[in-house]
Amino acid sequence: MFGLYRLLSHLALPVVLAQLATRCVRDSAYRPRISERFGFGREQSDQSTIWIHAVSAGEVIAISPIVETLSEQYTDLRFLLTATTPSGSEEVKRRFGDRVSHVYAPYDLRGCVQRFLKNQNPKLLILVETELWPNLIDLVHRANIPIYVVNARLSEKSASGYQRIRGLTSNMLQKITHIACQYEDTADRFKALGATENQLSVTGSVKFDIKLPDQLEQETENLQDQWCFGRPTWIAASTHAPEEQIALLAHQRIQAEINDAFLILVPRHPPRQHEVEEVCNALGFAHSTISKSPTRVPVLIVDRMGILLQVLGMGSAVLIGGSFQGTGGHNPIEPAICGIPMIMGRDRHNFAEICSRFEEVNALKIVNDVEDIAQAVISLLTNKQAATEMANAAYKVVELNRGAKNQVLNLMHSWITQAIDQSDSKSG
């Protein structure tokens, strides 16, 4: 099956180019640095390189404290942090500036990966969460570069998908040295796909160890002063179509009870701003975007990347998107850390284990439809004690589950030491 994948990926270049062109039209953030996606790196160095790949902003945020610590410990090494999306790239630049090297990860085309490896010459590869690409893993393995996965998560739905290509999945897993899983359910799914007991460990999720930026509170207060005007505020965060429409229909019902209620829409992909504005217009909502001068409107659309944490602090309730249309939900940990009561739809398979921990202590309200959302938000906006209790319960879950960072840090320390020792022995 791997041979078939190699053949198909070789023939896929026109498709990749067409998809890239489409993305560039829809989202101007994809236009810069296109050459990096084909393996042409901007930076080369004689220093030994530790390659860490985090797909998007969430993975970059999760791994950043660990990268920060390691880069301070190993000042003679070069840390290369790659991403796939513009939001991930922006997060790397915002958090690290020039303190780590950064390029986009190459497409999973053999020529692109080979070019990338030649240019960057990493000593080991650490994948954040579960970003498994057959050509990438095969070529890194062939170059005798150890491959590790940290903070790995594998939902039941994703595992079923990998099971359908079992031969290809098993081929990849055999080439990975170690997988540090968030929870036992993920480890069990990897074992069912062919990973061995010795390849797996369970550390918990490093996202529970996220530290909020020192300036976050002040930045949130500034946004509140500019946009909220003291109004009861709720947020629909990381939404996909048609979730903005669902949130706006709920907002109509909420405004019938709370006349000055304010809704902040945070699309998962900010370039969808115009699409979201069309939905607002269709439902008769005056609105603005956060990149414009502040004005008093009933609906605000966040059309900027990298400010979700600041925006979360503006509200008294958050509806977590991706949970009404098949995506599998988005991570509730960041809202919990920010101290905002959480509401979510029933589609949350991407974070089933994490969500269950919040549900068990009534820190996450599960809703079915527009009416459920409206009633939940009205309750949280009008009952401050209930909202506070819910937020406190969520934060306790966060506190109880901290500690994965140190476990992953220790693992990565040992992997880096081993890789550098092996490299030195070969060169000697």
Q: Which residues are designated catalytic?
A: 59
Distance of CA 428 to the CA centre of its chain: 40
Amino acid at 349: H
β-strand pairing of 200-202 with 318-320: unpaired
Q: Which two tokens stand for residue 46?
A: 């004689």
Residue 399 neighbours by CB distance under 10 Å: 11
**Residue 379, token pair as written in the block:** 């309750």
Range list of H helices, 321-403:
333-338, 352-359, 370-382, 384-400
The strand pairing partners of 201, in sequence order, are 180
180, containing H or E segment: strand 178-181
- For residue 49, list its beta bridge partners: 78, 122
322 torsion bin: left (phi>0), alpha (psi -120 to 50), beta (else): left
342-344 β-sheet, strand order: 287-289, 299-301, 262-267, 233-239, 318-320, 342-344, 364-366
Nearest Cα to 398, choosing from 366, 358, 364?
358
